[in-house]
Structure 1
Amino acid sequence: MSSRRRSSSSSSASSFTEEEINALVNKLQALLPASTSRSYTNKVAASEIVEETCNYIKRLHREVDGLCERLSQILSSNDTTNLDLETLIRNLLQQ
């Protein structure tokens, strides 16, 4: 009997109206950079916006991985003891 109560209370807590979902999708779309997000003049399926967002997040992860790898290479090089933070970041972003 307690499982029945939990399922009904959890479903009511996680249900959204279509209007709320549309508002959240619009907010999500606004977070995408202009180069990623297409210029939507008519209604677009929320699934397309969510898919674009997922692809954008994956690209960001790849960029972070690349920067981490470059930073490791710079730090493991012989002459990092005299580098200040500004020079280190400049070297990281130039490669």
Structure 2
Amino acid sequence: MSSRRSSSRASKLADDEIKELVLKLKPLLPQLDHRRNASVSASSILEETCSYIRRLNKEVDDLSQRLSQLLDSADITDVDEQLIRRLLQR
């Protein structure tokens, strides 16, 4: 019986941790931030988080491509280009 109780407590703890993490995500999402006091389901927050991460990844890819094009067209020396690339990797 005690193993069931400790399992139940561990499950409850995990549920509470998940709820806390989901609540921490909510203000980080621009689409949900304006609804701070409104009730939003955990699944909606997680779905929006996934969508937001995908959008950010696409934006990073687009910016990387644009930067690469700019570096290719810029009149810079190899040393300058290497320095710029090292700075961007940090």
- Is TM more than 0.5 here? yes
Q: Which amino acid aligns with 2:25?
A: L
TM-score (norm 1): 0.58
Query: Does the CA-based 8 Å contact 2:22-2:45 persist in structure 1?
Result: yes
Query: Does the CA-based 8 Å contact 2:27-2:36 persist in structure 1?
Result: no
Partner of 2:3: none
> Which of 66, 70, 77 does residue 70 from structure 1 map onto?
66
Question: How far apart, CA to CA, are the structure 2 residues paired with 1:76 and 1:70?
Answer: 10
With over 3 angstroms needed to count, the CA separation of the structure-2 counterparts of 1:18 and 1:73, relative to structure 1, is: same
Offset of residue 40 of structure 1: 4.7
Query: Does the CA-based 8 Å contact 1:25-1:46 persist in structure 2?
Result: yes
Partner of 2:41: 45
Question: How far apart, CA to CA, are the structure 2 residues paired with 1:61 and 1:22?
Answer: 25
5+ long unaligned stretches in structure 1: 1-10, 89-95
TM-score (norm 2): 0.60
Query: Does the CA-based 8 Å contact 1:22-1:46 persist in structure 2?
Result: yes
Question: Which structure exhibits the higher relative contact order, with contacts defined as CA atoms closer than 8 Å and separated by 6 or more residues?
Answer: 1
Question: How far apart, CA to CA, are the structure 2 residues paired with 1:52 and 1:62?
Answer: 15
Task: Point out the structure with the larger helix share.
Answer: 2
5+ long unaligned stretches in structure 2: 1-6, 85-90
Matched, 1:36 2:36: no
With over 3 angstroms needed to count, the CA separation of the structure-2 counterparts of 1:21 and 1:73, relative to structure 1, is: same
With over 3 angstroms needed to count, the CA separation of the structure-2 counterparts of 1:51 and 1:23, relative to structure 1, is: same
Number of paired residues?
71
- Identity between Structure 1 and Structure 2 (%): 51
